[in-house]
Structure 1
Amino acid sequence: FFIPGNHDACSFFDGTAPEVAGAVNLHNRHFRLAKDLVITSFGGSVPAFQGEKQRWIGYPFDKAEDIEEGLRGLLNAELAEDNSTDAPCKNDSVLLMTHVGPGSSQTAIQQIDLDQDVIKAGCFVLDKIMREPELQERVFLNIHGHTHFAEGVSKLGNTFIFNPGAIAFDCFGIVSIERKAGKWNYRSMEMMRI
């Protein structure tokens, strides 16, 4: 499975990329992992800012508002009647996988040069949507990338946020989840280096 990011071709976002055996593009999709567990995923990034100055462009989203319709449509879609499809049902737990992280999360704020402002590389629209009570109830974990040097764990309300870092810089993560009292929760998150 993969979620395209800001360095990937636009064909991964508009559905025109050829299928590759053994690789499933999860952008803008739900994928049922268990009878009451769904992965919901969305790729791409928004512009990053250092103070008032734009530091990085967003791709394929030119501004934060451009991502809202897709994210909101995916995360607030009508719930399925039962678990016979990939779409989440009322009592499902959702593991949210995004390329860009929530704007307020420390896992989306990067500071390499201590004499300069931090780079805010997260998406405040995602942040706003994830604060909605229905999503706070359903989404137990958001795994994201994009901010290469802000790996770590954070929390947004009831939702844990995990950025394992960039494999290009020898970082990856292992997440263990478990079902307790009818809900899925994370058990452990481990950041690793190659």
Structure 2
Amino acid sequence: MKILAVSDLHGDVKHITTYLQENKVDLIIIAGDITHFGPAELGEDILNEISSFNIPVLAIPGNCDPESIHINMDNSQAKNIHARNLLIRDIGICGFGGSNPTPFNTPLEFEEVQIYGEAKKALDAIKEQKITLFITHAPPYNTKTDLLPSGEHVGSKSIRKIIEELQPTINICGHIHEARGTDKIGNTQIINPGQISEGHACLIKIPDVTSQEEIETEIIKI
């Protein structure tokens, strides 16, 4: 399975649509900030535009999306996986959108206790799968993927704790544009693909679950 993983659209789909016109993937994962503070209807339009390529789209909202966007996401052709899980080709996938509290009082923020309870429940239900993808908007705390230029780590401590406890195969996150890159927590690979509105994304190639081949990941510029 070839996956295009992106985050932080902020209302801009040109890089995604250009890429999809020229390249084939099996699944698209969007790790939040579909809009730039709304409107919620724009989120639905964006997801439908991306879904028009007849490729499955899984998405979560980000902290810069309005709280009401959940309704529009559920009405779109994409699948909203916020606090939900599913199986695709025996790969377990779940998500949790929004972010831990920020100094900016953005629309979709959650207290750490809520993140831990709801996100862990979603991941716990698929933990027996050989390959699990944990899609979060907020990166895990104290990694290369949550680091501001100031040197401050601003990710979610709950996301980190869940990863430490349940060890998903991959955590795809976003939120901190400057922290594009990868890291590891135990056996879990952490990927912040960067801001897709600036052309940054990640390609993930997952072999058949019965295969002995390794999963391949590559952060790309499109």
Give the TM-score normalised by structure 2: 0.65
Query: The residue matched to 1:7 in structure 2 has which SS?
Result: coil
1:39 corresponds to 2:67: no
Distance 1:188 1:46, change over 3 A: same
The answer as to whether partners of 2:64 and 2:108 remain within 8 angstroms in 1 is no
1:65 corresponds to 2:94: no
Structure 1 counterpart of 2:135, one-letter code = M
The answer as to whether partners of 1:46 and 1:57 remain within 8 angstroms in 2 is no
Q: What RMSD in Å do the two structures reach over aligned CA positions?
A: 2.5
Distance 1:105 1:67, change over 3 A: same
Aligned equivalents of 1:178, 1:163: Cα separation in 2 = 21
Aligned equivalents of 1:173, 1:186: Cα separation in 2 = 16
Residue 7 of structure 1 is matched in structure 2 by: 64
Residue 128 of structure 1 is matched in structure 2 by: 161
Residue 71 of structure 2 is matched in structure 1 by: 16
Residue 26 of structure 1 is matched in structure 2 by: 81
Deviations 1:91-137 (A, max 9, x none): 442111111111122111121xxxxx3242310111112111xx12x
Deviations 1:53-81 (A, max 9, x none): x4x4465335323322212222234xxxx
Aligned equivalents of 1:187, 1:164: Cα separation in 2 = 16
Query: The residue matched to 2:206 in structure 1 has which SS?
Result: strand
Query: The residue matched to 1:2 in structure 2 has which SS?
Result: strand
Structure 1 counterpart of 2:87, one-letter code = R
Residue 93 of structure 1 is matched in structure 2 by: 131
1:187 corresponds to 2:197: no
1:171 corresponds to 2:200: yes
Runs of 5+ unmatched residues, structure 2: 1-57
Query: The residue matched to 1:120 in structure 2 has which SS?
Result: coil
Q: Which is further off, 165-174 or 65-74?
A: 65-74
Q: CA deviation at 1:20?
A: 4.0
Tell which has more relative contact order, 1 or 2 (C-alpha 8 A, sep 6+). 2
Task: Point out the structure with the larger helix share.
Answer: 2
Residue 109 of structure 1 is matched in structure 2 by: 147
Distance 1:21 1:64, change over 3 A: closer
The higher radius of gyration belongs to 1
Aligned equivalents of 2:170, 2:213: Cα separation in 1 = 8
- Fraction of identical pairs, as percent: 30
Distance 1:100 1:126, change over 3 A: same
Give the TM-score normalised by structure 1: 0.74
Query: The residue matched to 1:178 in structure 2 has which SS?
Result: coil
Runs of 5+ unmatched residues, structure 1: 49-53, 78-87, 112-116
Structure 2 counterpart of 1:143, one-letter code = I
Query: The residue matched to 2:71 in structure 1 has which SS?
Result: coil
